[in-house]
């Protein structure tokens, strides 16, 4: 077999276009870094990793120690954390913390945060675009633009950008897992699983379903990719810090004991003080039964049902009782893309207007509540802003479930999907 030369080589105009795109990208990146440098507050979700990485690599300090948390609190609050503030205790496994070590080479915390935030902004743009592409729907150009604007400028995504939270990168990894699983690039799927095995409050149901499906289909190459990447990271960890596990577990336990963030039990108790705890227990139990049923179906059915169940797992995760944060809801752009796509596709006459109306509602409501809530209702407004997106997304997924999981059966369905 001889190597076939390409029939057409790049022309001078092609090189000029590539140079123009590269130049515009560099200009945009420089502008975003300049904008990111102007952030005065926030960034704690990055600083906790950056300080820990520098404390270990430069100052030879235990990364899970209280000294690291104190330094982060100084950067974020200017003072030690008060009651209700996030303590910024590092609870990331050390082999995942290794991924932050390149940023530890930057001694200026503001510059390190700006560069990391740039990566998150690019990841957010890719996450929004690929979430829409996952639906296998050729959306109208206007709706594509509206959805991208919604995905980037919604309340939760901007919170994640402000806090420099790696959840945006995790969301992009989740999308990559779905794409690589469908493409049967199993080693890549396993590698992506390996670097996403933390932030359980965001991705635990999603990761469990992927593993169940892979086990049912006997796709052992996914396990091979997972083991290979973990072996490399853990081997490096063992070489440079073999005794990390006990301090990590201790820090994680201490972090769990400090009340901050949101969880379903506390939220329901705040809204209904008399019987909120009972309602929340019933609610969480119902969610677990629902997920168990859908997982049992999705592990053996076709890919449509698997993809729908993955979206459901992302939507349900914030409501399962684990403590989470507002910015973690930014990954809901993945299931929301499916909801809006099916709504638009199934109801051709009114679907466009209905999809745009729902998109506007999901985008506007959190901002309206945050800006116009009175001081008396400020606390409960936070609870509503937290509860609204996952509940809306779960309801939307069940609304479109029948159309999302069934294969096209009639000619009109086939033509509608083109």
DSSP characters for 322-390?
S-B-GGGGGGGHHHHHHHHHHHHHH-TTTHHHHHHHHHHHHHHHHHHHHHH--GGGHHHHHHHHHHHHH
Alpha carbon 384 to chain centroid, angstroms: 20
Return the minimum-mean-pLDDT range out of 56-60, 161-165, 214-218, 352-356: 352-356
Alpha carbon 50 to chain centroid, angstroms: 20
Is the predicted pLDDT of residue 90 greater than 50, yes or no?
A: yes
Beta bridge partners of 262: 324
State the chain's mean pLDDT as an integer: 87
Mean pLDDT, to the nearest integer, of 159-170? Answer: 94
pLDDT of residue 193: 94
Is the predicted pLDDT of residue 410 greater than 50, yes or no?
A: no
pLDDT of residue 374: 62
pTM, whole model, 2 decimals?
Answer: 0.90
Q: Strand, coil or helix: what is 324?
A: strand
Largest CA distance in the chain: 78
pLDDT tens by residue, 276-310: 889 999 999 999 999 999 999 999 888 999 999 99
pLDDT of residue 409: 47
Choose among 72, 48, 170, 194: nearest CA to 120. 170
pLDDT of residue 315: 96
Q: Strand, coil or helix: what is 221?
A: helix
Higher pLDDT, 283 or 346: 283
pLDDT tens by residue, 132-160: 999 987 778 888 888 999 999 999 999 99
Choose among 334, 366, 309: nearest CA to 124. 334
Task: Work out the pLDDT band at 23, boundaries 50, 70, 90.
Answer: confident
Please calculate the CA angle 195-71-105 and round it to the nearest 5 degrees.
55
Rounded to whole angstroms, the Cα distance separating 418 from 134 reads 15
| Residue for token pair 């049992």 | 296
Q: What does the DSSP assignment read for 145-156?
A: HHHHHHHHHSHH
Q: How far is CA 89 from CA 65, 303, 314, in A?
A: 8, 39, 25
pLDDT of residue 37: 84
Mean pLDDT, to the nearest integer, of 123-131? Answer: 95
Percent composition of the chain: helix, strand, coil (DSSP 3-state, to 5): 75, 0, 25
Contact 134, 175 (CB under 8 A): yes
Indicate the DSSP class of residue 275.
T
pLDDT tens by residue, 318-340: 999 888 999 999 999 999 999 99
């Amino acid at each position: 077999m001889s190597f076939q030369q390409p029939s057409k080589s790049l022309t001078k105009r092609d090189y000029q276009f590539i140079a123009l795109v590269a130049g515009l990208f560099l200009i945009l990146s420089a502008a975003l870094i300049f904008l990111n440098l102007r952030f005065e507050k926030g960034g704690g979700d990055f600083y906790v990793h950056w300080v820990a990485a520098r404390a270990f690599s430069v100052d030879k300090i235990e990364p899970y120690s209280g000294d690291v948390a104190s330094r982060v609190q100084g950067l974020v609050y200017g003072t030690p954390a008060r009651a209700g503030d996030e303590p910024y205790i590092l609870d990331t496994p050390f082999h995942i913390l290794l991924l932050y070590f390149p940023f530890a080479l930057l001694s200026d915390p503001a510059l390190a945060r700006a560069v990391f935030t740039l990566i998150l902004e690019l990841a957010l743009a890719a996450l929004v675009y690929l979430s829409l592409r996952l639906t296998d729907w050729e959306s109208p150009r206007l709706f594509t633009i509206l959805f991208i604007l919604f995905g980037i400028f919604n309340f939760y995504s901007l919170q994640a950008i402000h806090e420099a939270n790696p959840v945006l990168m995790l969301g992009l990894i989740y999308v990559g897992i779905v794409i690589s699983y469908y493409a049967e690039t199993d080693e890549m799927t396993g590698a992506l699983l390996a670097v996403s095995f933390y932030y359980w409050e965001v991705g635990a149901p999603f990761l469990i379903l992927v593993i169940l499906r892979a086990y049912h289909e006997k796709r052992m190459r996914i396990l091979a990719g997972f083991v290979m990447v973990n072996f490399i990271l853990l081997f490096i960890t063992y070489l440079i810090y073999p005794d990390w596990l006990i301090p990590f577990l201790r820090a994680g336990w201490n972090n769990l004991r400090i009340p901050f963030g949101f969880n379903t039990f506390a939220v329901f108790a705040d809204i209904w003080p008399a019987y909120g705890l009972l309602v929340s227990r019933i609610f969480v139990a119902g969610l677990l039964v629902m997920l168990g049923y859908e997982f049992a179906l999705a592990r053996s059915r076709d890919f449509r049902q698997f993809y729908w169940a993955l979206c459901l797992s992302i939507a349900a995760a914030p409501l399962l009782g684990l403590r989470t944060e507002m910015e973690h809801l930014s990954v809901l752009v993945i299931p929301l893309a499916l909801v809006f796509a099916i709504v638009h596709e199934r109801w051709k006459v009114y679907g466009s207007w209905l999809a745009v109306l729902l998109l506007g509602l999901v985008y506007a409501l959190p901002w309206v509540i945050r800006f116009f809530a009175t001081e008396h209702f400020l606390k409960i407004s936070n609870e509503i802003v937290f509860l609204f997106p996952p509940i809306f997304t779960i309801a939307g997924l069940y609304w479109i479930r029948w159309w999302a999981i069934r294969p096209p059966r009639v000619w009109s369905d086939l033509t509608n999907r083109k």
